[in-house]
A and B are shown apart, each in its own frame.
Chain A
Amino acid sequence: MKTSLYINLQRKIIFIVLLVSFAPLILLGGTIYYQFARMYKNKIEEQIKYRARAQAEAVDMFLKERIALLSTAAHTHSFSDITNERELSRILSIMNSKGGAFVDLGVITNNGQQVAYVGPYDLLGLSYYEQPWFGEVMSKGVYISDVYFGYRQLPHFIIAVLRQERQPVWIMRATIDPDLFGAMVRSAQVGKTGDAYIINKAGVYQTRPRFGGKILSNSGLNTSLFGGGTTIIEQKSGEDKELLYAGSWLKTPRWLLVISQEVAEEMEGLLATRNMEIAIIVFGLLAIILTIVLTTRLFVKRLRESDAKMNEMNAQLMHLDKLAALGKMGASVAHEINNPLVVVMQKIGWMEDLLDEEDPQKSKNLEEYRKTINKIDYHLERIRKVVHNMLGYARKMEPRLENVDVNETLNQTIDLLENYARINNIDIQTDLAPGVPIIANDQAQLQQVFLNLISNAIDAINKDGLIEIKSRKIDTHIAVTVSDDGPGIPRDRQGKVFEPFFTTKDTEKGTGLGLWVSYDIIKKMGGTITVESAEGEGTTFTVQIPIVLPQKE
């Protein structure tokens, strides 16, 4: 019952303290992690965006250069020069020697006929009139196609420029090496999961991606999600992996350069940080739990101990109150008994007197009467003794104050009992401190207490033993101890010695009131009287009398 109360308290404290200390820690950890993750992600996005933009610029630059090269070649040669196959071949090799990436070169007349061609394929004489790009280049002057299969049945794209200085106009067309171009785009890919490729407006791969598809297959990306400049989107890939895409539109063709990265890979550093943070928090929480549980346990244990002490003190106080109440009740009962006792004793005496007048011959129960009266007399005497003691001791309500030398009072008391002790071969030794001050007290009552204690000690020893009497000044009290080497008092009875009618002596010798009365007297003086006893070793009574100095006369 009581134990569960403490366990409950312990639980409550632990719960509340844990809650209070966990909540901010976890909140703080969570917030920091969240903020950090956001910053980290921003940074990664920035990076990937930057890479996309840079790569887009590079590709743009590359394409511009190709156009410039092509355009220069076209404008620096006459139609007859350039349709000369050897001359065209020379031009291709010069362009390629300056980082060209041109696969072939062709000259097409304004009616779509390819009139000159150098390159690995047999395309001479083909008509491009029907090809959509032909119209485009004729109207715009410069054209870059999407990747397509064309006549050669291989994915490629072309750049075409229109030479229009003199009539008739003609077109110079070059095929860009798709592998070279693809490799250049792919150079922007990073890490294990990074990818870089180009898609057209319809989302079709214009260069071969590292993962997830062939050239000219659909990337699955919705290009309308990408706005001007560089845009970041996050999307699930086919394998259920979160991917980050950064897209940057190229200037010349409407192509989108895409750099993608698996979020998980990018977040690896963050994950490590998060794990570290979790580890630190978990460790902190464990330390907190351990500390709280231990300190709470200690605290509750202390509380329990002090409660127990308090209870004990309360029990003692209640005991003292009980003694005081018993004292008052005892005195009033004794008083009430005393009055009829006075009469009864005289009546019995009178009967005894009258029996003498009876004729032994005529009264057959005379002897019986006499015996009975004697018995009544004997027991009345016992009552009288008890009442006498109770009334006699509890009599004085206000002690008379006089100058009392405690040591002197002890000596006088010992004198009174010395004979009695000597008969029983008991030695009384005294150790009285010389500095004990004269106090204002009631000498007769004090003597009564000492008398009770010392005669009890003598009775406890019975025969052959030692009584030690000490007096000491301790702070504001005078302490008098009376120790005997008698049989001691059993533990369970020590609490009862100050109760009225508690006695170990036979009824002839003691009424059980001596210690009770002594207790009462000392209590009225504002002092204490305590007992300490070990069975088989003896008993020590300690009286503490407050030092009240006499008023100077």
Chain B
Amino acid sequence: MELFSVLVVDDEEDFVETLVNRLKKRTIDAVGVSSGERALELMGKREFDVVILDIKMPGGMDGIEALREMKKVQPLAEVVLLTGHASVETSIEGMKIGAFDYVLKPIKLEELFPKLAQAFEKKDAHDQKIRSAKIKESLRYW
């Protein structure tokens, strides 16, 4: 039984592969893609609890744009932004449009993991609120 599901989006494929492996090893349902387009495609098919999104991907969809689209596809999925030093401002902007937090590259898994957990907790809490709201709603008509 996996703890929660994570989608890793980064143009550095070696990084994506390794991170996915390491997350899987920690019983997390992790999937990796190397572009914003693929991520959105995948998110159209299945749900993710947390998305790790590289804010700067040369060629193709830019991180902020991908973030906007993701929030449309899965508003409840929490997004943690991966950012280089040159794009801290972009990350702050990203947080304004709904990202959960940002981490500076390079990052150790030990530091990243708590962030993911927090993001999941938030999402989970949100989910539960929705669930209980739904229950209340259905109870009302009981």
- A residues touching B (Cβ–Cβ < 8 Å)? 335, 338-339, 341-343, 345-347, 349-350, 353, 384, 388, 391-392, 395
Q: Are A350's CB and B12's CB within 8 A?
A: no
Is B106 close to A, CB under 8 A?
yes
Interface size on B, residues (CB 8 A): 18
Closest CB of chain A to B28's CB: distance in Å?
12
Known: A338-B106, A345-B108, A347-B18. A392 touches B12 (CB 8 A): no
Determine which of B18, B25, B85 lies in contact with A343 in the assembled complex, contact meaning CB atoms within 8 Å: B18
Closest CB of chain A to B25's CB: distance in Å?
5
Provide 11 A-B residue pairs closer than 8 Å at the C-beta atoms, listed in order of the A residue. A338-B85, A339-B12, A342-B12, A343-B12, A343-B15, A345-B106, A345-B108, A350-B22, A353-B22, A384-B106, A391-B86
Is B19 close to A, CB under 8 A?
yes
Which residues of A sit under 8 angstroms from B74, Cβ to Cβ? none
| CA–CA, A353 and B105, complex, Å | 20
Q: Among residues 18 to 35 in chain B, which have CB atoms less than 8 Å away from a CB atom of chain A?
A: 18-19, 21-22, 25
Known: A342-B12, A342-B15, A349-B109. A388 touches B22 (CB 8 A): no
Which residues of B sit under 8 angstroms from A343, Cβ to Cβ? 12, 14-15, 18
Which residues of A sit under 8 angstroms from B104, Cβ to Cβ? 388
Which residues of B sit under 8 angstroms from A346, Cβ to Cβ? 14-15, 18-19, 22, 109
Q: Are A353's CB and B85's CB within 8 A?
A: no
Instruction: List the 6 closest pairs (A to B, CB-CB), nearest first.
Output: A391-B85, A346-B18, A342-B106, A343-B14, A350-B18, A345-B106
Please give me the residue from chain A that is nearest to B54 by CB atom: A342
Is B98 close to A, CB under 8 A?
no
| CA–CA, A455 and B61, complex, Å | 43
Q: Are A395's CB and B106's CB within 8 A?
A: no
Which residues of B sit under 8 angstroms from A338, Cβ to Cβ? 84-85, 105-106
| CA–CA, A395 and B90, complex, Å | 13
Closest CB of chain A to B135's CB: distance in Å?
40
| CA–CA, A532 and B105, complex, Å | 38
Which residues of B sit under 8 angstroms from A395, Cβ to Cβ? 85-86, 88
Determine which of A341, A350, A384, A388 lies in contact with B21 in the assembled complex, contact meaning CB atoms within 8 Å: A350
Not counting A342-B105, A391-B84, a sample of 9 additional A-B residue pairs whose C-beta atoms are within 8 angstroms of each other reads: A335-B84, A338-B85, A343-B18, A346-B109, A347-B18, A349-B108, A353-B21, A384-B106, A395-B88
Closest CB of chain A to B73's CB: distance in Å?
27
| CA–CA, A188 and B138, complex, Å | 165
Determine which of A339, A342, A349, A392 lies in contact with B22 in the assembled complex, contact meaning CB atoms within 8 Å: A349
| CA–CA, A353 and B23, complex, Å | 10
Closest CB of chain A to B109's CB: distance in Å?
5
Which residues of B sit under 8 angstroms from A392, Cβ to Cβ? 85
